[in-house]
A = this chain, B = another copy of it.
Amino acid sequence: MSDVPGLAINLATVRQQFDLKAAAEACARHGISWVAPWRDQVAATGIAETRRILDGNGLRVTGLCRGGMFTTDPNAQDDNRRAIDEAVGIGATCLVLVVGGLPRGSRDIVGARRTVEDGLGTLLPYAVANNLPLAIEPLHPVYAPDRACINTLAQALDLCDTLGSGVGVVLDTYHLWWDPNLLRDIARAGEGNRILAHHISDFLVPTRDLLNDRGMMGDGVIDFKAFRRAVEAAGYHGPQEVEIFSTGWWARSGDDVLSTCIDRFHSVC
């Protein structure tokens, strides 16, 4: 039985405090019923053992983080097929894809975007054959050079339209909150039945580090309730998944972080 049925914890949020087993036990102890592990955490534990640990703690898996990197990893297809196998092995709902930014030394973002589309098209049949949805995560434009050249929800949905079924999107507040077309495009995502996950973390002002200074919900500028209203109006009622990369929160105790996630989930999300 879950005390906070609508909450998921992306295990990156407590990656410095807990290995996968300790994280699963802590989440269970706090009444959390959904988690999202990262591939390195699963690799360190083993797929079968990961599944045993998650099942034993009554935990379900939102998405496995992460595949993608079509533009920068020469072995992206092999690696993504392995990621699909792993996601299936641990019972994940989807595989989260961070698609990759510019290849080293390149300034051709238009070309990078074509590479992503081609890479997704090549990967998709394997995902469909394994009944494992691919979840494209549009990343904030500040990550366009080095993380993901898919930077708006509209762009991700255009890709979904091109690719057909078996692919959807991750709606992450941190990446999307600023978009002037946000409400329109969340509705569009719902109409296409494309919403596979809803990630939450806050955008801090100032942001001291672009990678590892994400905020706990309520500490930044995002209106989580408005975002969630739009997501639910679009027909998605799955968990909200806390994904916070933060040197500050990684320095706190894991139980403290999880308690705060639950408090903020109830008060501001």
Task: Give A contacts to B, CB under 8 Å.
Answer: 102, 106-109, 113, 140-142, 144-146, 149, 151-152, 154-155, 177-180, 203, 205-207, 210, 220-223
Q: Is the CB of B206 within 8 A of A178?
A: no
Interface centre among A145, A154, A155, A210 (most CB of B within 10 A): A145
Q: Please tell me which one of the listed residues B141, B145, B152, B178 contacts residue A205 in the complex, with CB atoms under 8 A apart.
A: B145
Q: Taking A102-B221, A210-B206 as contacts, is the C-beta distance between A109 and B145 under 8 angstroms?
A: no
Residues of B with C-beta under 8 A to A205? 145-146
Q: Which residues on the B side are within 8 Å of A107 (C-beta)?
A: 221-223
* Interchain Cβ contacts under 8 Å between A and B, 28 examples: A102-B221, A107-B222, A107-B223, A109-B177, A109-B178, A109-B221, A109-B223, A113-B180, A140-B141, A140-B142, A141-B141, A141-B142, A141-B179, A142-B142, A142-B207, A144-B178, A145-B203, A145-B205, A145-B220, A146-B205, A146-B206, A149-B178, A151-B178, A151-B179, A154-B180, A206-B210, A207-B210, A210-B210
Chain B residue contacts of A222, Cβ below 8 A: 107
* Cα distance, A179 to B205, chains bound together (Å): 23
Listed residue (A141, A151, A203, A220) with the most chain B CB atoms within 10 angstroms of its CB: A141
Q: A121 vs B256: C-alpha distance in the bound complex, in angstroms? A: 49
CA distance A179 to B149 in the complex (A): 9
What's the Cα separation between A154 and B180 when bound, in Å? 10
CA distance A221 to B109 in the complex (A): 9
A222 to B106, CA, bound (A): 9
CA distance A210 to B205 in the complex (A): 11
Interfacial chain B residues near A151, Cβ < 8 Å: 178-180
Q: Is the CB of B155 within 8 A of A108?
A: no
Q: How far is the CA of A141 from the CA of B203 in the complex (A)?
A: 11
Q: Which residues of B contact A221 (CB under 8 A)?
A: 102, 106-107, 109, 145
Question: B residues within 8 A CB of A146?
Answer: 205-206
